[in-house]
Amino acid sequence: MSAPHKSGGVARIDARLAACQAEGRAALITFVTAGDPDFDTSLAVVEALPGAGADLIELGMPFTDPMADGPAIQAAGLRALAGGQTMVRTLELVARFRTRDTATPIILMGYYNPIYIYGVERFLGDARAAGVDGLIVVDLPPEEDAELCLPALEAGLAFIRLATPTTDDARLPAVLANTAGFVYYVSITGITGSATPDFGKVTAAVQRIKGHTRLPVAVGFGVRTAAHAATVAACADGVVVGTALVERVKAALDAEGCGSAATAEGVAALVRELAAGVRGAAKSDAA
C-alpha cells in the first residue's frame, strides 16, 4: 500500500471545510457518477465542477445493484457501466483530474462489493495514489469497521459515515466512532431523489448530531434547487446535491445518449445556481 500523502486524504477535506467555515458559509458538495455516460464526458463534467462553485466532489462508483439510490442515479450507473466504466477507470479519472486540480477534495461514494472484488489493500493503495481523499460506503455499518473503515483511516483516507432520521442518540456514538472528514446526514428516509426534506426537521437533526461530535455535518438527499441549498446551508456545514446534477447530465445527452461539450456546461450551470444559493445563505446561530 502506498504511503499517505500529507497534502491529501483527510487533510485535504479538513482544509477545504475549514476554509469554507472561515468564509462563514457552508460547503457545496456535488455528486456525479464516474463514467456517465462515458469516460471523456465524465472527466469534463468533473473538471468543470470546481470552477462552477463546487467545494468538494463526491464521485459515484458505478455498481449493478445500488440499493440506496433512486432511479436517476441507478440509470447513471448503468450508462457508465455500458460505456465501459470500471474501478480502474474510476481511479484513472481521479488521477487525470488531479493533474489539473490538487486542492478540491474527491470522495468516492458507493457500495462495498466493487471494492471487495478489486481487493481492499490494492484499492486503498491505488485510491490514495490517484488522489482520492475519502470514502462513503453506504452498506458497511460500524460493526464492519475492520473490513474497510479502519484500513482506510490507516491509509490516510477519510471514512465518512451516514446518519439518518432513524439514527437515534443511542446509535450515534457507534456511527461517529471512526468517522473522519464530516458526518453525512441523510435528510429523508428512503432512496436518493425520492422526496423533498422537511427542513425544520433537518435543522433539528443537525443540532442534535452536533451535540455528539465536533465534526462538520453535511446534509444530502432531496436537495435539488438553489433555494433548497440555501435553506440547508443556513443550518449545516455542507450541502450535498446529487440527483439533480445526474439528471442534468442526462438532459444534456444527444439523441443517441452520448455526451458533448454541452454536457459539462449544462451541469456547471446548475452548480453555479446552487453555489449562489449556498453562498447567499445566512448561517444560523444553531449551526
- Residues marked active site are found at 58, 69
Contacts (Cβ under 8 Å, ≥6 apart) of 212? 169, 172, 173, 176
Preceding peptide of 37 cis, ω within 30°:
yes
* Side chain identity, residue 22: A
In contact, 196 and 224? CB cutoff 8 Å = yes
Give dist(CA 226, CA 169) in Å, integer.
Answer: 31
Nearest to 25 by CA among 235, 285, 279: 279
